[in-house]
Amino acid sequence: MIIAIIACVVLIGMLCVLAFNLATYAVPFMAGLAAARFAYHTGSELIGAGLVGFVAGLVVFGVLVFLFAALRPPILRIAIALIFAAPAAVAGYELVWGVAHEYVPSAIWQQLFCITGGVFVGVSALLRLMAAGDPLANQRLSRP
């Protein structure tokens, strides 16, 4: 029993680190996946659907980078970052639920763990996006 609890905590930690690193790409990935599914269901073969999905993901990520570069008002940048961070929060919630429902018997504790994981992943994605939009962020952090 103790080994299962320790394995659950370690696995959730590893998945959250992975989610923190990949959360910035949640919206482009989902857009690419939706485009690939649409292309596949409209008669494209597997390779063609994969190419369509890959291009769609690149376009969505390019739009994010362009909007961060073009928009100067901070409120618009925050709004765009929230649009991209909200699916990351949902992905973090689902990620923790995928592990917690196997090991945590109480439904209340499952929800608490899942909400906490979703909040952490969403805030991490928001901070990563906001830091990516500010080219001087690294210089400000390194100065005493």
110-131 residue pLDDT tens: 899 889 988 988 888 888 777 7
Q: Where would I find the H helices in the chain?
A: 2-22, 26-41, 46-70, 74-103, 107-133, 137-142
Query: What's the gap between Cα 1 and its chain centre?
Result: 32
Domain membership of residue 65 (yes or no) is yes
CB 27 within 8 Å of CB 83? yes
Q: For a pLDDT cut of 90, what percent of the chain falls above it?
A: 19
d(CA 52, CA 32): 7
Number of domains in the chain: 2
Mean pLDDT score of the chain: 81
pLDDT recorded at residue 142: 54
d(CA 113, CA 108): 9
Residue after which a domain boundary falls, among 52, 73, 94 = 73
Domain membership of residue 66 (yes or no) is yes
Domain membership of residue 26 (yes or no) is yes
- The predicted-structure confidence for 60-113, as pLDDT tens digits, reads as follows 988 887 887 788 888 888 888 888 888 888 888 888 888 788 878 888 988 998
Query: What's the gap between Cα 123 and its chain centre?
Result: 10
pTM of the model: 0.67
Domain membership of residue 57 (yes or no) is yes
Residue after which a domain boundary falls, among 26, 51, 73 = 73
Domain membership of residue 62 (yes or no) is yes
Closest of 30, 20, 16 to residue 125, by C-alpha: 20
DSSP state of 25: G
CB 129 within 8 Å of CB 85? yes
pLDDT recorded at residue 48: 93
CB 126 within 8 Å of CB 82? yes
Q: Residue 125's domain spans which residues?
A: 105-135
